[in-house]
Structure 1
Amino acid sequence: MGTSKPDGQKNRTKRQYYSPELKIKVVRELERGQMTCAQLALVLGVTRSNLYRWRRELAIDTPRIPPPDHRKMHVTARGEVQRLKRALAQAIEERDILKKAAMYFVLELSQGTPLYELSNRRVR
C-alpha cells in the first residue's frame, strides 16, 4: 500500500508568514496606485486576498496616504493660467508700444522721404 495520510488530513504546504515591515511596504505601494492589486500580487507571489486583508488591517493601525487632491491641482493650474495670461497681455502691450515707437522714429527720420529711399540711406 501507498503512504497515504489518514482521512481528514490533506497534503498542505507550510504556512507562509510575512513580516509587518513587508506588509506596510506592500500596502504603501498599493496605495500609491502605480500597480493594481493583481499586478502587485503577481510580482510578490502572494494572493490578492492577502493584499486586501493587509490593507484592511493596516488601515486601522496607520493613517492612509492621502491621494493627491485634484481640486488643489486645478486651483494651482488655474492660478498659473491666469498669471500666464497676464504676462502674455503685458508682452502684447509692450510689443504694440514698440511697433508704434519704431513707426514714429521711421517717420521722424524720413521727414517726408519715401521709405524706399530710407532703405538705401546710411546711418552716420
Structure 2
Amino acid sequence: MSLSNTGFDFRTTPLLFNFKIKKIFFALLSFFILFTISCGNENKTKNELYERNISYYAGDWINSDTKEKIFIINSNGSIIVNGENILPKSIKKNSETNYTFKVIPEWIKKSSYTFNINFINDAKGKVNVGNLYFEINKIN
C-alpha cells in the first residue's frame, strides 16, 4: 500500500504542521503579553501618590486640658519642643498617624524624653511622654 493513495502528501504536511505550531505559539504569546500588560497596569490611588508625613500636621499643638503649648510642627517636618529643634531625620514614622521622637534637653544631657504622638485627625491627637498621657489640639 502506498501513502500516495491515502491522500497524505509529504510536501504539504510539514508546512501545515509548522503553521499549526506557529498559530499556537502566537496565541500563547498574545495571551502572555496581554496578561503582562494587564498585571503591570497598577492603579495608583491618591494615598500611594501622596505619602503623608509629619509636616502634614504643621502648626502649634497644645495640651487639651492645660492649654499649654507642647510643640510646634514646622512645614519642613521639624518639631520644636521647649526650644529644642528636632530634625525630620530624627523623627520615626510608625504609620501615617503615629510618630516617635526623642528630646534631649540642652541643659541636661544625661536624660531624654521620648514622645509618641498618635494623631486622631488633622487637629487632634494623643501624646505619650514616659508615663504621661494627654490629648493635644492644634491651634493654628
With normalisation by structure 2, the TM-score equals 0.29
Whichever of the two has the greater Rg, that structure is 1
With normalisation by structure 1, the TM-score equals 0.32
Report the structure, 1 or 2, having the larger helix content. 1
Report the structure, 1 or 2, having the larger strand content. 2
